[in-house]
C-alpha cells in the first residue's frame, strides 16, 4: 500500500480555529511540564544532574511558550508550526535521554507518544518520518551511553515504533476518507433536498396554473363578450358626446377601463394557455433590434438612451418568433417603465458554452429604481406588480418566464435598489430534432 506526502497537510481550512485536538495537544504539553517538574522533585539524582535536567525543562517551557504565542497569531499555519514544535520535541527527548542513562532511560517511552500523536494527526508519511527520527536519536543515545543491550531488544523497540506509526497513520487515513465520504454524502443530500424543493415549488405552481387555466376557460367567453360590447358602445358614445361635457369624461373612463380589462383577459389567456408554438430558426439579436425600433418613439419620448452591444452573428435558436418577441418586449417595456424620466437601457447578446453545450445569452439592463430585495423572489409571480393598477397587469414577466422556459431556457434578475436591474435570459442552441422531440413530449403530456 503506497502512501505519498499530501501537500494539503500544511494547508488550513478557510476559517482556522483552535479546535478540540489543539486543546488536547496543549493539555498534554502542560501535563509533560508539570509531570517533569514533579519527577525532578522526587527522583534521586545528584544536584548537578538535577540542575541540568531543570534547565532542559526550562528550555522545554520556553519553546512551548514561543510556539503557542506564534500559533495564536498565525492560526492559518497551525499545522506547520506543529511540525516545527515536533523537531524541538525530538531534541527535548534526546536531551532527557542523555541526562538519564541514554538507551536505559525510561524517557524512551516518550517516543511512542510522539509517534502516535503525529501519525494520527498528519497521517502515515509524517508518522514514518517521526519513527525514523526517533530511531536515529535512540541509536545515538544507545551508542553514547554504552548501555549493554542485545541487538534484538534494540530492533524490537524500533520495530514497535514503526508498527505504531503505521497503525495510527492508516487509522488516520481511514477516518479522513470516512469524513470526506460523509462530507460528499451531505453535499449530495443538500443538492437532493434543493432539487426536491424546486420540484415541489414547480408542482405547486403547476397546480395553481392548472386551476387558473380551468377557471379562465370557464369564464373567458362569459367575460369577453359583454366586455367587448361595453367597450364598443362606449367608444361610439365617445364620438357623439360634447367634448367639454362631464359625461364625456365618464365615458372616457369606461373606455380606458374596458381596454385595461381586455388587456388583462388577453394576458391571462396567454399566460394560462398560450398559442401553439411554430418552431423555426430565429436570431434573438434581430428580434431585439426590431423590438427596439418599434418602441423607438416611446423610448425617445421618455429620454431613454439605448446602448446596444448586440452580436449580429449570434447563433440561431429554435423557437417561436412571435412568442420570443413578446417575451423580450415585455422585459424591455418593463425596463422602460422602471426608468421614470431619463435613463439608459443596455441590451447585450452573446454566445457562450455551458456543460459542453452552446447557449445564447440576452441581458437587458436598466438604470431605473431597482427592485427591493424582498420582492426579488416574487418578481415573476403571476399578478405581482409594484406599478399602479392602470400601468400593468402583473402578468408580463410571468408570461416572459413561461415562454423562456418553454424554449428550454432560464431567466433571472439581478437588481440593486436605486441603481437598476438586469434581466438575464439564456437559451440553448438546440437542433431541430431535439427541440421537436422535447416539444412533442411536452404536448403529449
Give the model confidence (pLDDT) of 183-199 as tens digits.
899 999 998 998 898 88
Q: What is the CATH number of the domain that holds 426?
A: 3.30.565.10
Q: Express each pLDDT in 30-76 by its tens digit.
A: 898 898 888 888 888 888 888 888 999 999 899 989 998 998 888 88
Q: Is the pLDDT of residue 139 over 60?
A: yes
Angle at 352 between CA 346 and CA 358, to 5 degrees: 130
pLDDT digits (tens, 9 = 90+) for 97-124: 888 877 777 788 888 888 888 888 888 8
Q: Could you say which of 149, 178, 208 is where a domain stops? A: 149
- pLDDT tens profile 332-351: 888 888 887 788 999 999 99
Max Cα separation, the chain?
129
Asked if 75 and 19 touch (Cβ cutoff 8 Å), the reply is: no
The verdict on residue 333 lying in a domain is yes
Query: How many domains are contained in the chain?
Result: 2
Supply the pLDDT for residue 169: 84
pLDDT band with cut points at 50, 70 and 90 for residue 269: low
Residues in CB range of 274: below 8 A, 6 or more apart: 323, 402, 403, 406
Retrieve residue 239's grid coordinates. 364620438
Does the residue 155 lie in any domain? no
Domain boundary among 149, 178, 204: 149
Pairing of strands 304-309, 317-319: unpaired
Residue 232 has pLDDT above 70, yes or no: yes
Where a domain ends, among 149, 176, 193?
149
Helix (H) or strand (E) segment spanning residue 425: strand 420-428
Among 404, 393, 322, 327, residue whose Cα is nearest residue 360: 404
Q: Are strands 343-354 and 317-319 parallel, antiparallel or unpaired?
A: unpaired
CA proximity to 435, closest of 252, 303, 295, 281:
281
Q: For 133-182, what is the HEC assignment?
A: HHHHHHHHHHHHHCCCCCHHHHHHHHHHHHHHHHHHHHHHHHHHHHHHHH
In contact, 422 and 365? CB cutoff 8 Å: yes
- CB within 8 A of 49, min separation 6: which ones? 99
Instruction: Specify if 311 maps to a domain.
Output: yes
DSSP code at position 64: H
336 near 324, Cβ under 8 Å?
Answer: no
Residue 284 is predicted with a pLDDT of 93
370-428 per-position pLDDT tens digit: 888 888 888 887 777 766 544 556 677 888 888 898 888 999 999 988 889 999 999 99
Q: How confident is the model at residue 8 (pLDDT cuts 50, 70, 90)?
A: very low
pLDDT the model gives residue 366:
92
* pLDDT for 427: 93
* 385: region left, alpha or beta (phi > 0 left; psi from -120 to 50 alpha): beta
The span from the first CA to the last CA of the chain, in angstroms, equals 55
CA of 388: how far to CAs of 177, 303, 327, 337, 347, in Å?
59, 21, 21, 11, 26
Beta carbons of 78 and 16 less than 8 angstroms apart: yes
306, β-bridge pairs: 345
Residue carrying C-alpha cell 418552431: 279
Half-sphere exposure of 362 (CA within 13 A, CB side): 27
Rounded CA gap, 214 and 40, in Å? 91
- Measured CA to CA, the distance from residue 158 to residue 138 in angstroms comes to 9
Number of H helices, E strands in the chain: 12, 7
pLDDT at position 273 is 59
- pLDDT of amino acid 347: 94
Q: What is the pTM of this model?
A: 0.46
Query: For strand 343-354 and strand 280-282, is the pairing parallel, antiparallel, or unpaired?
Result: unpaired
Question: Is residue 251, in this structure, part of any structural domain at all?
Answer: no
With 50 as the cut, is the pLDDT of residue 437 above it? no
For the chain, the average pLDDT equals: 81
CB atoms within 10 A of CB 270: 17
In a domain? residue 371 = yes
Q: Indicate if the pLDDT at residue 5 is higher than 70.
A: no
% pLDDT > 90, the chain: 14
Mean pLDDT for the stretch of residues 245-265: 81
> What is the span of the domain harbouring residue 64?
7-149
Residue 84 lies in a domain: yes
Where on the phi/psi map is residue 303: left (φ > 0), alpha (ψ -120 to 50), or beta? left
pLDDT at 9 over 50: no
Q: Per-residue pLDDT tens for 277-301?
A: 678 899 999 999 988 888 888 888 8
Strand partners, 440: none
In a domain, 50, yes or no: yes
Per-residue pLDDT for 4 more than 80?
no
- Cell numbers given for 135: 530511531
**Residue 370 in domain:** yes
Q: Are residues 282 and 142 in the same domain?
A: no
DSSP, res 369: S
Residue 442 or residue 258, greater confidence: 258
Average pLDDT of 205-214?
70
Taking the C-alpha atoms of 118, 121, 123 and 127 in order, what is their torsion angle to the nearest 10 degrees?
0
Quick: pLDDT tens for 297-326.
888 888 889 999 999 889 999 988 888 998
Q: Rounded to an integer, what distance in angstroms lies between the CA atom of residue 83 and that of residue 87?
A: 7
Is the Cβ–Cβ distance between 138 and 103 less than 8 Å?
Answer: yes
Residue in 375, 386, 374, 304 with CA at minimum distance from that of residue 339: 304
Amino acid at each position: 500500500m503506497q502512501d505519498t506526502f499530501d501537500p494539503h497537510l500544511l494547508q488550513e481550512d478557510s476559517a482556522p480555529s483552535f479546535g478540540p485536538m489543539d486543546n488536547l495537544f496543549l493539555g498534554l504539553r502542560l501535563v509533560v511540564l508539570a509531570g517533569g517538574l514533579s519527577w525532578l522533585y522526587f527522583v534521586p539524582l545528584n544536584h548537578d544532574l538535577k540542575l541540568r535536567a531543570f534547565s532542559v525543562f526550562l528550555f522545554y517551557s520556553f519553546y512551548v511558550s514561543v510556539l503557542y504565542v506564534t500559533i495564536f497569531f498565525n492560526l492559518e499555519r497551525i499545522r506547520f508550526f506543529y511540525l516545527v514544535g515536533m523537531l524541538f520535541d525530538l531534541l527535548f527527548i534526546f536531551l532527557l535521554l542523555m541526562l538519564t542513562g541514554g538507551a536505559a532511560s525510561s524517557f524512551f517511552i516518550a517516543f511512542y507518544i510522539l509517534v502516535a500523536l503525529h501519525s494520527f494527526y498528519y497521517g502515515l508519511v509524517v508518522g514514518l518520518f517521526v519513527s525514523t527520527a526517533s530511531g536515529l536519536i535512540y541509536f545515538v543515545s544507545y551508542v553514547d551511553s554504552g548501555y549493554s543491550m542485545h541487538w534484538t531488544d534494540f530492533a524490537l523497540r524500533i520495530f514497535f515504533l514503526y508498527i505504531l506509526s503505521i497503525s495510527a497513520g492508516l487509522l488516520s487515513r481511514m477516518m479522513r476518507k470516512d469524513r470526506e465520504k460523509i462530507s460528499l454524502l451531505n453535499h449530495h443530500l443538500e443538492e437532493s433536498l434543493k432539487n426536491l424543493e424546486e420540484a415541489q415549488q414547480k408542482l405547486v405552481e403547476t397546480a395553481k396554473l392548472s386551476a387558473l387555466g380551468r377557471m379562465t376557460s370557464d369564464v373567458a367567453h362569459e367575460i369577453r363578450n359583454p366586455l367587448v360590447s361595453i367597450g364598443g358602445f362606449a367608444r361610439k358614445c365617445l364620438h357623439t358626446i360634447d367634448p367639454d361635457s362631464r359625461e364625456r369624461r365618464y365615458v372616457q373612463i369606461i373606455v380606458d377601463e374596458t381596454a385595461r380589462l381586455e388587456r388583462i383577459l388577453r394576458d391571462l389567456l396567454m399566460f394560462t394557455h398560450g398559442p401553439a408554438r411554430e418552431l423555426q430558426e430565429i436570431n434573438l439579436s434581430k428580434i431585439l433590434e426590431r423590438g427596439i425600433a418599434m418602441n423607438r418613439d416611446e423610448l425617445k419620448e421618455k429620454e431613454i438612451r439605448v446602448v446596444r452591444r448586440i452580436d449580429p452573428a449570434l447563433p440561431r435558436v429554435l423557437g417561436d418568433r412571435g412568442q420570443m418577441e413578446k417575451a423580450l418586449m415585455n422585459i424591455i417595456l418593463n425596463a422602460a417603465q422602471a426608468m421614470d424620466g431619463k435613463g439608459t437601457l443596455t441590451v447585450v447578446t452573446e454566445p457562450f458554452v455551458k456543460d459542453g453545450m452552446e447557449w445564447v445569452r440576452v441581458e437587458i439592463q436598466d438604470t431605473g429604481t431597482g427592485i427591493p430585495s424582498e420582492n426579488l423572489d416574487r418578481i415573476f409571480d403571476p399578478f405581482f406588480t409594484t406599478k399602479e393598477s392602470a400601468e400593468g397587469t402583473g402578468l408580463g414577466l410571468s408570461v416572459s418566464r413561461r415562454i423562456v422556459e418553454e424554449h428550454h431556457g432560464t431567466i433571472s434578475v439581478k437588481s440593486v435598489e436605486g441603481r437598476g436591474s438586469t434581466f438575464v435570459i439564456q437559451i440553448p442552441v438546440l437542433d431541430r430534432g431535439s427541440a421537436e422531440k422535447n416539444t412533442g413530449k411536452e404536448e403529449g403530456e
